[in-house]
Structure 1
Amino acid sequence: MRIILISFITTLLIISCKAQKGVSLSKNSDLQEFITELENGTEYTFEKQSFNREEPLIIEGKEGLVLDFSGSTIISNTSGENVKPLHKKERNWPRNRSHVIIKNSKNIKILNLNIDGPHSNGGTSEKAYVRRLEAQHAYEIINSKNIVIEGANIKEIYGDGIYISKRSSQILIQNCNISKNGRQGIAITEGFNIEIKNNEFNEIRRAHIDLECNHNSDTIKNITISGNVFGSKRLKWIAAASSKGIVTEVTVKNNKINSTADIYLGNVKNKRKQGPYYFYDNSSHKGYGNPQGIIWKLFNVNGFTAEGNQIRAQAYRDMHLVGGRNVTNLHLNNNFVSHGSPSFKKLGN
């Protein structure tokens, strides 16, 4: 019995020593300094709190971090004019002052961290888009792999809710709420194996989802957009209309669109065909119409499959579900278009 008691006490001492070696964020600690000093492989749960920050929070060169912020909020009250520019971003600062930047990192999970920006005019109005501040994204993911952003409530941002670039891959964005911003809901300029799942979008100034290569060498590949709820926006539901690069293997399924479900894929100026795209079981609840009579516009697209979608068209406009120019390998099955036709309309040259 004595031997067992001694063994139990020894175990407690060992556990106590391990606990003392753990990291913790005190109320007076700087969040950036705390994140910078974290060792790779750290898992940390924050107490729910507010962080007043005008500078970006940067996670760079890290691996294996799991950070649960427990519903904490980063609050920015200014547009960042008085913030010291980041290295290599001095040009046009504060245009590119993002709020959280994940760069050159892998195996990072950011859970339940809200971003409350300074853009009181965010939304669908003319005032929502501010050109000199349009690259102030809530989350910016650069050249990083296996990244999870989950449970974030993002609002009143000058730029995109989430911006993904520089060959980032294995990205999961889920259970987030993005609203009242100044540009896109989520934008991807280069990336692979990205899933956008079970999020809510509302009052988005431009497109809900924008797949837009910046350079001819850029590729956006294997993107899945599923189970999201899309509210009001100013421009398109899904846009992939860059004249540069290639967008391929995009699946859009089981989404609910509480606004118009208009999309624009491909570009007549892009010499490479885009696609394939797959649209399954999406439903819209607001009618869309235009003089061309097309809800989903395609240009230079090779491979487009639409099945089981229920899309609302504006009445008395003779709207077709799909249309465009230079489209090959088109498959339309079991789609329903209220006040319109589930067919394809070819546009002239």
Structure 2
Amino acid sequence: MYKTKISQFIILCFLILLLPVSVSATDSDRAISLYEEGYSWYRKGDYFKSEDCLLKALEIEPNLWKAHYWLGKLYREMGELENALFHWEETERMNKTLAYRRIALTIKDNEYPAMAQKRKTEDRVRKALDHFNKAMRLIDEGHWEGGEEELYLAVETYPANQLYLISLARLLMDQNEWHAGINFYRKLLLVRSVKFEYFLEAYEQMRIRECPHLMEPYVKMHKHRFAGIEEFDAIEALFQPKEKKVTFEPEFIGRVIKRVGDKVIIDAGLSKGLSKNDEQKTILKAFKPGKILIHPESGEPLGRLEGEKIADLLLTRVSDNMSEALIKAENDFGVKAGDLIEF
């Protein structure tokens, strides 16, 4: 009995020791799977989905150097150079760490050439900053054209830098080049980490230029970040589909304007589809529209009941905007001004 309990205890301890390893292995597999999915999206050109997958992989396994390396390449192509530098610095740090481990000496695939790309990207960041600083200096001195040219170069060198983008957009708007300015506001809105104050500024500029509809895709894009902020919710509400109020209006071509004896004048003529050929041939109907039927439980309108005929009218004269008709048959209500007319 005692030996049996000891054996059971040993087995239980063994299983407990295996549990973290199993969980760890599962997390590692999940991280690798997300990395591979992110790499696949990168190759297909869907950078946003690629970014999401690679970042999730790093949440699970922060030292997954492959994910850092490809995030660096991804951010470089998206123009987010400082983000690219961060991930390549992480890649290089891990490469150096692995160099001191014996296993790294036998697995060449563990090393990714981040250092060379990091240096090139650092050079681009410096060049972009030089262009930006020169642009600000030229603008302060009143040389707007030169400043604009330098800002273009700064944005070209560092495409997703929010400060460079909004500075160029503002300068273009100030010079009344608002088509180009709006274009750079839109480029700014494509940056997934765009500041909310810049988002609002872009919307306001588009509203002033009577093109707020251009904001709709960016409202959808940034909803997960800004939803719940009062100003954002107000902008989003502008793009919500408007509910159509169902009134079940009766269909008619005109109304009785006046009754004279056994004749009526109606406000329908050639402009409403009648023709001279209808004279002495076409019978119209004056009618009273049916009541709207309401659902007894929900209170929602269901439709309109069939209307009641008041009289048959024979068209006698058709003109541009009015016609005359002879009352042929009339019920107890009698035809009067305001009655609806249909074929």
Structure with the largest fraction of helix: 2
User: TM-score if structure 2 supplies the norm length?
Assistant: 0.24
Between structure 1 and structure 2, the one with the greater Rg is 2
Structure with the largest fraction of strand: 1
User: TM-score if structure 1 supplies the norm length?
Assistant: 0.24
